[in-house]
């Protein structure tokens, strides 16, 4: 969800604005369905943890100065988590990248997660191959883009 259309949407520049939705360009287009692979899952958790630390460091009222000294450290952790996620996302581009990522799962959850991701990727490849065969045979184009559907459900 980008905004609720009650508060204004502003570009996040390191300082949030009360009553406004802060859009972070580092996370534009990233949702829970965009995260694939166990390493990336852990990096998403790092972002959640950094956000939690940032929220905890904020004052509880306009007169409170609770934990304001921690903001620069917390902001640095958040920036680092975002950079780490962006780098990991960029390194996962092919089926081979996903297979390499899932070569040595660290626990049962990671093993099951990888199995599901690899199976989904194989299913998508099979569907794409079948669509290409149909397109070639019928000289038509099949649109399998679901991004607009995902955005509507968002």
The pair of three-digit structure tokens given for residue 44, joined into one six-digit string:
């998403």
pLDDT at 97: 83
Task: Indicate the Cα dihedral angle 43, 44, 48, 50, nearest 10°.
Answer: 30
Q: How far is CA 39 from the centre of its chain?
A: 12
pLDDT at 146: 47
pLDDT at 4: 64
Using the structure block, give the residue that is written with the tokens 């996370």.
27
Tens-digit pLDDT profile for residues 113-130: 888 878 877 766 766 776
pLDDT at 38: 61
pLDDT in 10s for each residue of the chain, 154 residues: 555 667 788 887 777 777 888 777 666 655 555 555 566 777 778 888 888 887 777 777 767 665 555 667 888 888 888 888 878 777 877 878 888 888 887 788 778 888 887 887 776 676 677 667 767 777 766 555 544 444 444 4
Distance from C-alpha of 39 to C-alpha of 56, rounded to nearest angstrom: 26
* Contact status, residue 10 vs residue 17, Cβ threshold 8 Å: yes
Which residues lie below 8 Å from residue 148, measured CB to CB, with a gap of 6+? none
């Amino acid at each position: 969800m980008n905004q609720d259309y009650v508060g204004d949407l502003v570009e996040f520049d390191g300082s949030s604005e009360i009553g406004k939705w802060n859009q972070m360009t580092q996370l534009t287009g990233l949702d829970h369905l965009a995260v694939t692979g166990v390493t990336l899952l852990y990096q998403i958790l790092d972002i959640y943890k950094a956000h939690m630390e940032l929220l905890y460091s904020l004052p509880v009222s306009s007169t409170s100065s609770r934990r304001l000294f921690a903001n620069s450290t917390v902001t640095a952790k958040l920036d680092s988590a975002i950079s780490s996620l962006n780098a990991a996302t960029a390194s996962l581009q092919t089926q081979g990248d996903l297979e390499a990522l899932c070569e040595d799962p660290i626990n049962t959850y990671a093993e099951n997660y990888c199995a599901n991701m690899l199976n989904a990727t194989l299913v998508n490849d099979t569907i794409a191959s079948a669509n290409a065969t149909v397109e070639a045979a019928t000289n038509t184009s099949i649109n399998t883009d679901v991004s607009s559907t995902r955005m509507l459900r968002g």
